[in-house]
């Protein structure tokens, strides 16, 4: 695909990370629209100047202060369109859907994705709502329209999970995946144990660093890890699992005292998400587990995540890497775009 036209729906931390990467790597794409319900909406068929868009975002200004240069589009810059109008009116090749995650309804992202797929656009998203609730349906819609629906950033931010499985485990049966799937809670547990921080201070810092969800309850009560377990179950194990099928417990009841006592016994708490196939059933869960220090997962610190794939031909393969963050998740959208245009 020559110079693909890309639109961004939602442009918070992840969107800004993506734009910084595109600028830094001098990627040959045309950014034709950005629509964010808080930051404003602009589109120009001739392509927006990414530096100018980033300047507005970094200075906390509305995107609608954007002006095209004198040789651009001859006054055809549109402002103020909502996400659906932007998707319907702009002739993009690729939509990057980066609105906030609503794990309960999957909206408004699911509607945006359906609209884009029906119009023959490829879609990449880091939004866990649609991927957890409607992956199989959306993938079918993408196949019917002969376009791609890629979700690399939904699990372990840009650390390869789905690309790894698709490319490098081709021909293997994956029977189980298990690991640390939430950066915020891993950061909190690490800081509580290693620095003696309070739970609240660690959570506040995780929010400042851009790891936590808009509503951090999703992190600390395990719902974010739950969404990821559901996605892994359906995408890698071929399941049709719903969030309500999976028992889920977060870390909010773990005290500094619990962590200290565990450390005295050479143990460490980690929030573990797992899913495995048993015959026709999928058995999945999210819960805090006290692991012995000999377990390699105890060495995964801060916002890092880790995942062990159990396969028939390779045995266990474990990856560790970023699980959250602006550039790290921006990269997941970037790599999906590269995979679409290759």
Residues with a known catalytic role:
228
Contact 334, 22 (CB under 8 A): yes
Cβ proximity to ligand HSE: between 29 and 227 the closer is 227
- Supply the minimum distance, in Å, between the C-beta of residue 186 and ligand HSE: 8
Binding of ligand HSE by 211 (CB under 6 A): yes
Q: Rounded to the nearest whole angstrom, what is the least distance from the CB of residue 145 to ligand HSE in the complex?
A: 27
Give the binding range for ligand HSE (CB under 6 A) out of 181-189, 195-203, 287-295, 331-339: 181-189
Nearer CB in complex with ligand HSE: 102/213: 213
- Asked if 188 and 203 count as a contact pair (C-beta separation under 8 A), the reply is yes
184 touches ligand HSE (CB under 6 A): yes
Nearer to ligand HSE, 108 or 216 (CB): 216
Any residues with CB less than 8 A from the CB of 273 and at least 6 apart, and which?
Answer: 178, 179, 180, 181, 182, 225, 226, 228, 229, 232, 284, 285, 286
Ranges within 149-178 binding ligand HSE (CB under 6 A): 157
Supply the minimum distance, in Å, between the C-beta of residue 215 and ligand HSE: 10
| Residues forming a β-bridge with 177 | 275, 309
Region of 107-115, 207-215, 234-242, 252-260 interacting with ligand HSE (CB under 6 A): 207-215
Candidates 163, 217, 214; CA nearest to 185 is: 217
Please report, as residue ranges, which positions from 212 to 251 form the binding site for ligand HSE (by CB under 6 A): 212-213, 219, 224
- Which residue lies nearer to ligand HSE by CB, 151 or 340? 151
Which one, 110 or 126, has the nearer CB to ligand HSE?
A: 126
Q: Could you give the CA distance from residue 216 to residue 290 in angstroms, rounded to a whole number?
A: 23
The reply on whether position 10 binds ligand HSE by CB under 6 A is no
CB of 340 to ligand HSE, least distance (A): 21
Q: Could you tell me the smallest distance in angstroms from the CB atom of residue 99 to ligand HSE?
A: 14
Site for ligand HSE in 103-132 (CB under 6 A): none
By the rule CB under 6 A, 275 interacts with ligand HSE: no
Q: By C-beta, is 147 or 212 nearer to ligand HSE? A: 212
Binding-residue total with ligand HSE (CB under 6 A): 11
- Chain positions contacting ligand HSE, by CB under 6 A: 157, 182-184, 211-213, 219, 224, 323-324
């Amino acid at each position: 695909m020559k110079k693909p036209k890309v639109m961004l729906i939602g442009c918070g931390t992840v969107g800004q990370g993506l734009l910084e990467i595109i600028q830094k790597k001098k990627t040959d794409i045309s950014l034709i629209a950005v629509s964010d319900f808080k930051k404003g909406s602009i589109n120009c068929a001739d392509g927006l100047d990414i530096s100018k868009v980033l300047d507005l975002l970094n200075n906390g200004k509305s995107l609608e202060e954007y002006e095209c240069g004198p040789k651009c589009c001859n006054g055809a810059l549109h402002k103020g369109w909502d996400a659906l109008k932007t998707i319907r009116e702009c002739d993009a090749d690729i939509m990057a859907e980066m609105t906030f995650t609503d794990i309960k309804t999957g909206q408004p992202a699911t509607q945006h994705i359906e609209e884009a797929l029906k119009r023959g656009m490829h879609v990449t998203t880091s939004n866990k709502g649609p991927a957890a609730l409607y992956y199989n349906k959306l993938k079918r819609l993408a196949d019917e329209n002969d376009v791609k629906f890629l979700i690399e950033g939904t699990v372990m931010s840009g650390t390869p999970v789905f690309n790894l499985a698709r490319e490098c485990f081709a021909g293997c049966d994956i029977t189980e995946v298990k690991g640390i799937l939430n950066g915020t809670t891993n950061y909190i547990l690490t800081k509580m144990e290693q620095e003696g921080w309070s739970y609240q201070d660690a959570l506040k810092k995780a929010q400042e660093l851009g790891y936590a969800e808009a509503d951090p309850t999703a992190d600390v009560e395990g719902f974010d890890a739950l969404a990821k377990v559901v996605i892994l179950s359906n995408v890698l194990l071929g399941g049709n699992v719903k969030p309500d099928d999976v028992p889920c417990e977060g870390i909010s009841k773990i005290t500094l005292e619990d962590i200290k006592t565990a450390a005295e016994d050479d143990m460490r708490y980690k929030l573990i998400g797992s899913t495995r196939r048993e015959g026709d059933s999928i058995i999945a869960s999210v819960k805090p587990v006290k692991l012995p220090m000999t377990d390699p997962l105890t060495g995964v610190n801060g916002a890092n995540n880790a995942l062990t794939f159990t396969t028939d031909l390779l045995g266990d393969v474990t990856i560790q890497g970023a699980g959250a963050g602006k550039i790290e998740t921006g990269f997941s959208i970037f790599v999906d775009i590269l995979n679409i245009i290759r």
